[in-house]
Amino acid sequence: MISEKSFKINPKEKLESKKRLVIISDTHITRSGGAFNLHAFNVGMEKINKIKNASLYLHLGDITHMGTLLEYEYALEQFKKFEPVSKSPEMIFLIGNHDAMNVGYLLFEEMVGTRHYTYEDDDIYIYGIDSTKPDLPGGIIHHSIIESVRKKLEKPEREHKFKVVCFHHQLIPIPNTGKERSAIDDSGDMLKMLLEARADLVLNGHRHFSNLYTVSSSEKDLFIFNAGTFCCNKTRYRELFTYSIIDIDGNNLNFKVIPVLDSNSQREILREVNYYIPLQIDKKQKPIARFIQISNSLVSERFESNFNSWISSEFVSIGTNVIIGMNSTILSFGIEQDNFILRKIRVESGVLIGAKCVLLPGTVMEQ
């Protein structure tokens, strides 16, 4: 049995110096079609060029719209407009699913750079990953890459550095973006690894909508930030073209989402990386209440004997207050059979256990 309970502590600050990350994403540059908004791109480039004290510029993928040679050439021509006033900052490019179309992943390597990149100094470690599946909108990291990233994050020399992991596709679903259909296939494994390896920040693009999540483990907080589109006409809900500035000062983060064409609707979000240490759990302590959650019980007449055994052996002796049946699938043999099963659950739980039973609807499989 694994028990986790913790309380917040205030550790030493990670960064000795401040860092400012400037984020753009999903430019979808093309000469043809209606995806690329050249006016928004030009205005946006003028604005990000003027940002002072930038440590690094990041493009989170979908530089081009179709990943063709002509689009890559046109995109590199457009990015000659990148002339920042900050001293010697570079722009690092991630590959997106549109960049990987039409064998564009090879053009990316030849014309832009590596599909996995590393940026590191005394205070911060940033690792970028290729999450694309060529010619498909969805993404994947792969088990081998997940474990490779874990080893990189857990190196002793990076223990006190601020650790950032970037890839194009969203790690978890984003609100106001319609049907969820293109998060990475192995998002659960990736998220689990990031929490276990004590990453601080995840940066994603792809969904053309800005969003910030805080995910907490029993040890610390992890922030997951999605950038909106910089200049693609495919926008979502009321968010148009945006770029983002992330200021990192010790354990304090300031996220600014700045519209390219309307500076009056800027959003600013403040966050602090919280750390926790485990509390010892007193096993003799009397709980206020005990809830038991069951799922996918697949109850049918054929399994009645097993159901009786399960009710009596699992719940009679533990003093349960409430049983919650989540998504309890019932094999339907008709109304009378369903009613019999539901009555049996209520009677058994009430008489033998003395607990209330809450049934939530699940899938009904017709015989």
Query: End-to-end distance of the chain based on CA atoms, in angstroms?
Result: 38
pLDDT at 310: 57
Q: How far, in Å, are 189, 236, 315 from residue 319 at the CA level?
A: 35, 50, 7
Residue-wise pLDDT for 53-76, tens only, equals 888 999 999 999 999 999 999 999
Q: Which of 59, 78, 248 minimizes the C-alpha distance to 161?
A: 248
Q: 1 or 225: which carries more pLDDT confidence?
A: 225
- Per the CATH hierarchy, to which homologous superfamily does domain 6-278 belong? Metallo-dependent phosphatases (3.60.21.10)
Which of 8-22, 122-136, 297-311, 325-339 reaches the highest mean pLDDT?
122-136
Residue-range domain boundaries for the chain: 6-278, 291-366
What is the C-alpha separation between 205 and 132, in angstroms, rounded? 12
By the 8 A CB rule, do 75 and 107 touch?
no
- Exposed, middle or buried: residue 157 (CB in 10 Å: 0-12, 13-18, 19+)? exposed
What is the C-alpha separation between 302 and 275, in angstroms, rounded? 50
pLDDT at 237: 86
Q: 244 or 307: which carries more pLDDT confidence?
A: 244
Q: How far, in Å, are 173, 202, 300, 359 from residue 297 at the CA level?
A: 28, 37, 9, 11
- Three-state secondary structure call for residue 262: coil
Q: Which residues, 6+ apart, have CB-to-CB distance to 347 below 8 Å?
A: none
How large is the average pLDDT for residues 285-305? 66
Q: What is the DSSP letter of 287?
A: P
Q: Strand 19-24 vs strand 56-59: parallel, antiparallel, or unpaired?
A: parallel
Residue 150 has pLDDT above 80, yes or no: yes
What is the band of 90 on the pLDDT scale with cuts at 50, 70, 90? confident
pTM here is: 0.76
By the 8 A CB rule, do 163 and 200 touch?
yes
What is the band of 350 on the pLDDT scale with cuts at 50, 70, 90? very low
Which of 285-299, 304-318, 349-363 reaches the highest mean pLDDT?
285-299
DSSP 59-86: E-S--BSS--HHHHHHHHHHGGG---SS
pLDDT at 362: 60
How large is the average pLDDT for residues 167-193? 86
pLDDT at 6: 43
pLDDT at 78: 92
Return the bridge partners of 92, or none.
Answer: 58
